[in-house]
Structure 1
Amino acid sequence: MLFHLGGLYSALYFLAMLATITYKSQVFSYPHNCLVLDLALLLLMGVLEAARLYLGTKGNLTEAEVPLAASLAFTAGSGLLSVHFLLRQTVVLWMDSVLSATLLVLHGLEAGLQVVVIADFIR
């Protein structure tokens, strides 16, 4: 259930961040190279999220450790990108902080559950 909630929030996060980056590029003086970097990192994050959710669901349904471990690694990568959008973006709005902090909490919960499930599958 947490994967589905995390997946739904990840999709909403992607769309909201795309909208806020578009807004910030129109309202604030946003350097072109930073805009391209933020959009590329957001796209990378979307790809990581899709792979993470697919592997996590597959590993959970087949009770296999390897897909869950790969999903856990993608969770860490996606978490690092969330930290970038939380702290290191060119222009960070209050909404960016709330969205990224919520995503980090969900990633933390999912990572903890993935570790517990992997340990249970190994046993």
Structure 2
Amino acid sequence: LCTQLSSVTFQLLLNLTTAYFVFYFLFTLGLIVRKSLVLTYPTDALVYDVCLLFLLAGLDCLHLLSGVRGHLTENEGLILTNLIVTGTTILLTVYFLVWQTYVMRADVILSSVLLFFYGLDGVLAFSTLARLASDK
């Protein structure tokens, strides 16, 4: 008898986080463009902020792929990869919440919601990993 250790909640949250991230990415990119037009945005800081946003986008894709694949195949290595990537995406989101060149109220709200989703993803990934490890 084979038991399924995956979680529907984790799967739904991964998809919801990715859908929100698409909105977050587009809105944050728009905010950076607006800030660069309205405010005196140092060129090196602008390049740095845009590059970090695109790095965050790439990591979010890896977050989704490793999470979904690891979850559906019940692969501990992929779920562990998802946890590591989640930690990295949390750090980058904190950058956009606190340390980017200009932080607006919209940045704070959007980044806080994204941090909440990443935090929940991390907790559910950890609990899924724990269930998989305890089953063996």
TM-score of the two chains, using structure 2 as the length reference:
0.89
**Alpha-carbon deviation of 1:11?**
1.0
Q: How many angstroms apart in 1 are the aligned matches of 2:44 and 2:88?
A: 22
**Structure 2 matches for 1:73-92, cutoff 5 A?**
73-92=84-103
With a CA cutoff of 8 Å and minimum separation of 6, indicate the structure with the bigger relative contact order: 2
4+ aligned runs moved over 6 Å, structure 1 = none
Question: Aligned residue for 2:57?
Answer: 46
Q: How many angstroms apart in 1 are the aligned matches of 2:64 and 2:105?
A: 27
2:48 aligned with 1:37? yes
**Alpha-carbon deviation of 1:88?**
0.2
Question: Aligned residue for 1:108?
Answer: 119
2:60 aligned with 1:55? no
Bigger radius of gyration = 2
Question: Aligned partner of 2:129: which letter?
Answer: I
Q: RMSD value over aligned CA atoms?
A: 0.5
TM-score of the two chains, using structure 1 as the length reference:
0.99
